[in-house]
Amino acid sequence: MTPRLQNFIDGKLVDSTTSRFGDVYEPALGTVARQVPMSTSADVETAVAAARRAFDSWSATPALRRARVLFRLKALLDEHLDELAALLTSEHGKVLDDARGSVTRGMEVVEFACGIPQLLKGEYSEQVGRGVDCWSFRQPLGVCAGVGPFNFPAMIPLWMAPVAIACGNTFVMKPSERVPSMALRLAELWHEAGLPAGVFNVVNGDKEVVDAFIEHPDVAAISLVGSTPTAESVYQRATHAGKRVQALGGAKNHLVIMPDADLEHAVDSLMGAAYGSAGERCMAISVAVAVGPETADRLLAALMPKIKALRVGAGTEDGVEMGPLITRAHRDRVAKYVERGLAEGAKLLVDGRGLSVAGHENGFFIGGCLFDQVTPEMSIYQEEIFGPVLCVVRSPDLDSAIELVNAHRYGNGGAIFTASGEAADQFCKRIQVGMVGVNVPIPVPMAFHSFGGWKGSLFGDHFMHGPEGVRFFTRMKTVTSRWPHGASSGASFIMPTMK
């Protein structure tokens, strides 16, 4: 019998009340590994109630003591890194080194959150008026909810929950139903680190769980990473319900290659950025903008043999550079985009469809694909494919390249490869994206900065982790204080000023 997963509520694993279960696959084999419960609103009610009960005590716990739990969690994550990477690879399919890297990027946010006593320090002004002092401080929101994507089952929960919990909130996480096991393992490590029961909970499921988060009056905030339609819908509905929301959506990230760029460096960077994790990254480079015809020709000549030589296979095998896609349906969707690109007139230089991996013939594999002569009106340019498909667009000059990027509805990240400081400076100042790389293909900020995009890539006012993460998971309170001395001077009926 296929094993069935549970939820983690109030410090322990518990069965869901649901009668619906979904299959969780091992993508490299194409076989069902376990089943995940599609939890009900009653399960969400139980988890939120546990988080609400835990909130009063946890929010009153000194920030230094909360930080000590995070220090222990970081040590446990270090200790179990290989185990976590193997679990991630089994359900997602990405290669082990990439899995380790993604867990490590999550651990860096835990390290950042360990500094919460410093991060929550407020401001104080003495004598803003005669005998009047003013100070501000930040307080937690209450019960917060997280909705994770399938592509980073460890990193994204570790970008959300540690900051929220360090700030004094309690948390309910809904991982993607395609990769549910990691969140449950993280919950066990939180518990082992000494986190009180109810502070971190996991409710598995699908849209019903998200809807229950939106509708529940005790959920104060929702942090989500997903597709743009989902992010926009959750943002609109949850803010209408009075909740604070940060919802990160899709992307179509461009890498601009100038004629003076170090071509070898640019090509190696593009290979990793476009085909790493099989392109299933919101920060993947899916569009290469070659400035000048000679640049485009040289770029393509260098790219094609490398793409054809990509080592594709099970992520657990040594030397593999790219694993399978997450599901058979998603692999077929990516293949249909390739068909559509051909129908729209793009030139397919490398076709990865029909790839079969020995010993894994039923796995969800597709090889790297490369298009030339892509134009802005094509769907393969406009839409997020979320697979190993790189589109090359030719641009006559830097101004045209910047205009091209700025006209796109997404604005997550972008990069320029150049030897010119002037070109890099113009690009950084004029580009309309949230994260910019200069000779860096995937400009994901370190944990002590903040991650987020512009336009259709982010709904809400706050980026994730870093200072913006602390602001999102807290609200400011300002106190103006006066201790009178002597007799009252009588009632005043005018707007108070500090003359």
Catalytic residues: 282
Q: How many residues does the chain have?
A: 499
Distance (Å, whole) CA 413 – CA 425: 16
Distance (Å, whole) CA 493 – CA 499: 16
In sequence order, what are the beta bridge partners of 65? none
Give residue 159's Cα distance to chain centre. Answer: 7
Distance (Å, whole) CA 316 – CA 96: 6
For the chain, state the CA radius of gyration: 25
Q: Of 418, 413, 415, 374, which is closest to residue 392 (Cα–Cα)?
A: 374
Longest dimension (CA), the chain: 91
Q: What are 98's two structure tokens? A: 């990439």
Position 219, amino acid? V
Angle of helix 81-92 relative to helix 96-113, nearest 10 degrees, comes to: 120
